[in-house]
């Protein structure tokens, strides 16, 4: 990059080839959405409600995917997110329903647990040089085991504050003859959706506008070079895993609000769903590349497939898994193509 | 002087730590239950019984899969799809055993297709799925962890669609033998495991293949330049892992005489990778130890048995697994081993100085 290129026009910035994966994700989402609109438009696929439900039903995956994207950009991986989210739900359910604690106390305890475990795993990964896969796998076993130690039964959450938070919703309105009326069929956004969007915004800010975010990309690009440049590699990596722990706890909170209960086996395999969201959102598992906008659309893309299957009504829900696998394959091939052609250009 | 050196080199070997950990857990089990090591003969089934036999028997699936996983990890990769392949193998086997599911028959001692198909097709399909993984890695140049993520995500879907989301049961005796039969007083899964371990060991250590795998794991380009067909090595290793997952899947479904596409092989990839890493094979690739992997797999199963003895719920074994594995991994980690190596060297120098 020459110095004259510092002031780029908006257009040249948007057409930067580094965003090609994000555009691929958005494009494929639009294609699938258009297909749904043509095939099931008469059944209400194009309504605002269907679209908003994509967010409502997958907010917890999305929240977790924010932290996961950062971890993946550093070139690491975190398999503990599903178990930590599940443990958060158990804390909340067991704390409020069995121990009679205030939900805020439980959430605070969960935050200490999740962020603490994240920081610890980050420390082990960086300073003891244990592969991230193994470290976070152990973290997953630990969190999942503690879930089962707390209770093997599903515990319902009954607390006025949780009920209020879970029931809180903003109805989407539109202007008809100078009057605001609810859109039909009724569509609303709730606390989970707002939390999801806030986390995406926060993630974008951290990655694009802070020194910490630039360090994350630098480590993912080449950890050795980052270290030689004097960047705080250890600090950044530990903090990224800590932040991911925070995201897992928030995802667990969001899931607990969604199902209003805690269960020791909830969100099993959730870590893979989250990683899949990030990968089809254009994040490279080799590190160094990834954007929050891509992850946002990755979550939508992954969640639109079950929606299509529901609208079809005749297919086994297992076809969804097959379609997700197919999408993964497609994106991996596109990524491969992009990386190879980028190398060819150099 | 000579002895100190041996000890320090032993302390630096990861396999030593794994064996020590296994012996410690066994000792604690023995302290809690003095009859832990006793083995008795049951004439009615012609099998030996005892906790030790049970540990080896129950670790069969993981050990078999971990044999392939060891090679995959030695190549510097991981195979996440093995658990899903276990489910696929079970689904196909049960499909061939009970093709007539449309009209209801109680599970009886019969098979619809020939028994060769029941056993052969799942193995071939699993090997082909492994080959698909290998193709993506070798020809597509895709990271193994991502390439195998695809089959991990949709493998169970394939298994469910093959069986229309149903769970079949069977009572076919020759199929029961695989998981519940016995041979030479030992449960059949142990025999199968022994054969597999021996076959893989011979294949890798009596031919140059093991050296090829290690070479590709350390540096694929250098291996290619020195005349090793890295792509072929990768294809063989992934296809072998798929095949071994299929064998494990047959054992698993024979134990329950049914297919369970949701739970068969659940978390097997995690356990297998753990077994390999505890056994001292570095996840970065390169040198591998099949013996270490067998010990690693036994450790995982011993922990589970150990936790049962405390009367703790089955699901909670994960927490204890995590704690013990954490200890083993920290002890095996580079900084800790370097610390031991440094201390051993310092002591050797001290001894040498005193002798002089």
**pLDDT tens-digit readout, A17-39:** 778 888 888 999 999 999 999 98
Chain A residues whose CB is inside 8 A of the B334 CB are 128-129
Surface of B (77-136) touching A: CB under 8 A: 78, 136
Phi, psi values for residue A261, rounded to 5°: -160, 170
Distance from the Cα of A310 to chain B's closest Cα (Å) equals 16
Instruction: For each of the domains in chain B, give its residue range(s) and CATH number, in order of start.
Output: 2-355 (1.10.3470)
Map tokens 């989250």 to a residue: A274
Is residue B50 classed as helix, strand or coil in its secondary structure?
strand
User: For B315, which of A77, A134, A264 is closest by C-beta distance?
Assistant: A264
Surface of B (219-258) touching A: CB under 8 A: none
Is residue B345 classed as helix, strand or coil in its secondary structure?
helix
Residues B111, B97: contact at Cβ < 8 Å? yes
Residue A1 banded pLDDT, cuts 50, 70, 90: very low
- Give Cβ neighbours of residue B267 (< 8 Å, ≥ 6 apart): B83
Between the alpha carbon of residue B310 and those of residues A123, B60, B304, B317, B320, the distances in Å are 32, 23, 10, 10, 11
pLDDT above 50: residue A9: yes
Question: Can you read off the two tokens belonging to residue A142?
Answer: 């630990």
Interface probe with A: pick from B153, B269, B280, B285, most Cβ of A within 10 Å? B153
Residues B259, B88: contact at Cβ < 8 Å? no
- Give Cβ neighbours of residue A127 (< 8 Å, ≥ 6 apart): A234, B335
B273 reaches A (C-beta below 8 A): yes
Residues B302, B22: contact at Cβ < 8 Å? yes
Chain B residues whose CB is inside 8 A of the A328 CB are 146, 149-150, 153
User: For B316, which of A148, A326, A332 is closest by C-beta distance?
Assistant: A148
Torsion region of A180: left, alpha or beta (phi above 0 gives left; psi -120 to 50 gives alpha): beta
- How much is the average pLDDT of A114-143? 91
Pick A210 or A20 by higher pLDDT. Answer: A210
Give the model's pLDDT for residue B102. Answer: 56
Sign of the alpha-carbon dihedral angle for B47, B53, B55, B60: negative
Give the model's pLDDT for residue A218. Answer: 94
> End-to-end CA distance of chain B, in Å?
12
Distance from the Cα of B192 to chain A's closest Cα (Å) equals 28
Of A280, A64, A137, which Cα lies nearest the Cα of B321?
Answer: A137
Please give the share of chain A, as a percent, with pLDDT higher than 70.
96
pLDDT above 70: residue A5: no
Nearest residue in B to A329, CA atom: B150
pLDDT above 60: residue A87: yes
Of B148, B245, B272, B73, which Cα lies nearest the Cα of A272?
Answer: B148
d(CA B287, CA B71): 9
Give the model's pLDDT for residue A285. Answer: 80
Question: Can you read off the two tokens belonging to residue A152?
Answer: 């093997």
CB contact under 8 A, A326 and B154: yes
Residues B76, B282: contact at Cβ < 8 Å? no
Range A24-336 classified under CATH 1.20.1440 = no
User: For B78, which of A133, A148, A333 is closest by C-beta distance?
Assistant: A133
Residues B113, B92: contact at Cβ < 8 Å? no
d(CA A125, CA A122): 5
In this predicted complex, what is the ipTM? 0.76
Chain A residues whose CB is inside 8 A of the B336 CB are 128
User: For A129, which of B142, B157, B333 is closest by C-beta distance?
Assistant: B333
User: For B165, which of A141, A147, A318 is closest by C-beta distance?
Assistant: A318
Give the model's pLDDT for residue B2. Answer: 44
Residues B138, B234: contact at Cβ < 8 Å? yes
Lowest mean pLDDT among A170-184, A186-200, B303-317: B303-317
Nearest residue in B to A321, CA atom: B154
Nearest residue in B to A127, CA atom: B335
Give every residue of chain B whose pLDDT is below 70, as ranges.
1-14, 100-106, 352-356
Phi, psi values for residue A62, rounded to 5°: -65, -45
CB contact under 8 A, A325 and B151: yes
Residues A92, A254: contact at Cβ < 8 Å? no
B322 reaches A (C-beta below 8 A): yes
Give the model's pLDDT for residue A3. Answer: 47
Residues B300, A137: contact at Cβ < 8 Å? no
């Amino acid at each position: 990059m020459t110095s004259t290129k510092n002031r780029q026009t908006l257009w040249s910035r948007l057409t930067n080839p580094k965003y090609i994966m994000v555009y691929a994700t958005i494009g494929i989402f639009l294609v699938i959405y258009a297909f749904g609109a043509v095939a099931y438009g008469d059944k209400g696929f194009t309504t605002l409600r269907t679209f908003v439900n994509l967010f409502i039903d997958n907010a917890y995956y999305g929240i977790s995917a924010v932290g996961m994207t950062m971890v993946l950009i550093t070139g690491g991986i975190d398999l503990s997110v599903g178990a930590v989210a599940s443990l958060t739900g158990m804390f909340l359910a067991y704390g409020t329903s069995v121990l009679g604690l205030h939900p805020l106390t439980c959430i605070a305890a969960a935050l200490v647990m999740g962020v603490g475990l994240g920081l610890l795993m980050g420390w082990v990964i960086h300073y003891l040089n244990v592969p991230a896969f193994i470290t976070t796998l152990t973290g997953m076993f630990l969190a999942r085991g503690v879930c089962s130690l707390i209770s093997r039964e599903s515990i319902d959450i009954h607390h006025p504050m949780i009920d209020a938070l879970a029931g809180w919703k903003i109805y989407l309105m539109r202007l008809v003859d100078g009057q605001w009326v609810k859109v039909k069929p009724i569509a609303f956004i709730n606390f989970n959706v707002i939390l999801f969007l806030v986390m995406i915004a926060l993630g974008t800010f951290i990655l694009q506008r802070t020194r910490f975010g630039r360090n994350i990309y630098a480590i993912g690009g080449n950890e050795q070079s980052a270290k030689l440049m004097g960047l705080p590699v250890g600090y950044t990596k530990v903090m990224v895993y800590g932040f991911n722990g925070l995201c897992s706890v928030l995802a667990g909170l969001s899931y607990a609000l969604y199902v209003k209960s805690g269960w020791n086996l909830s969100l099993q395999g959730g870590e893979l769903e989250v990683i899949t969201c990030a990968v089809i959102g254009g994040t490279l598992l080799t590190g160094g590349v990834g954007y929050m906008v891509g992850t946002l659309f990755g979550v939508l893309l992954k969640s639109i497939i079950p929606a299509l299957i529901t609208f079809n009504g005749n297919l086994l829900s297992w076809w969804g898994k097959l379609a997700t696998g197919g999408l993964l394959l497609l994106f991996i091939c596109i990524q491969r193509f992009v990386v190879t052609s980028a190398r060819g250009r150099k | 002087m000579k002895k100190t050196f041996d000890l320090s080199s032993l302390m630096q070997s990861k396999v030593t730590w794994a064996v020590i950990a296994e012996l410690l857990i066994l000792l604690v089990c023995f302290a809690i239950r003095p009859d832990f090591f006793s083995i008795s003969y049951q004439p009615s089934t012609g099998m030996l019984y005892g906790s030790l036999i049970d540990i080896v028997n129950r670790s069969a699936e993981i050990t078999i899969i971990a044999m392939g996983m060891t090679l995959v990890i030695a190549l510097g990769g991981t195979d996440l799809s093995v658990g899903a392949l276990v489910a696929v193998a079970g689904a196909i086997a049960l499909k061939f055993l009970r093709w007539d599911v449309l009209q209801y028959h109680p599970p009886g001692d019969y098979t619809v297709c020939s028994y060769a198909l029941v056993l052969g097709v799942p193995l071939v399909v699993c090997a082909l799925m492994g080959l698909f993984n290998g193709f993506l890695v070798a020809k597509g140049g895709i990271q193994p962890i991502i390439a195998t993520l695809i089959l991990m995500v949709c493998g169970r879907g394939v298994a469910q669609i093959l069986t229309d989301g149903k769970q079949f049961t069977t009572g076919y005796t020759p199929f029961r033998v695989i998981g519940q039969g016995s041979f030479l007083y030992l449960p059949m899964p142990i025999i199968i495991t022994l054969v597999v371990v021996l076959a893989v060991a011979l294949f890798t250590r009596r031919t140059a293949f093991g050296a090829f795998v290690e070479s590709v794991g350390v540096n694929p380009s250098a291996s290619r330049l020195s005349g090793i067909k890295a792509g072929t090595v990768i294809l063989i290793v992934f296809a072998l892992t798929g095949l071994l997952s299929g064998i494990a899947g047959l054992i698993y479904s024979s134990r329950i005489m049914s297919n369970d596409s949701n739970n068969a092989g659940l978390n097997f990839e995690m356990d297998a990778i753990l077994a390999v890493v505890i056994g001292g094979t570095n996840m970065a690739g390169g040198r591998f130890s099949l013996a270490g992997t067998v010990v690693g797999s036994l450790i995982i199963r011993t922990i589970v048995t150990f936790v049962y003895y405390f009367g703790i719920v089955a699901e909670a074994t994960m927490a204890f697994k995590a704690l013990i594995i954490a200890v083993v991994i920290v002890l095996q980690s580079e900084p800790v081993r370097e610390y031991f190596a440094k201390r051993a060297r310092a002591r050797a120098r001290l001894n040498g100085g005193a002798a002089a």
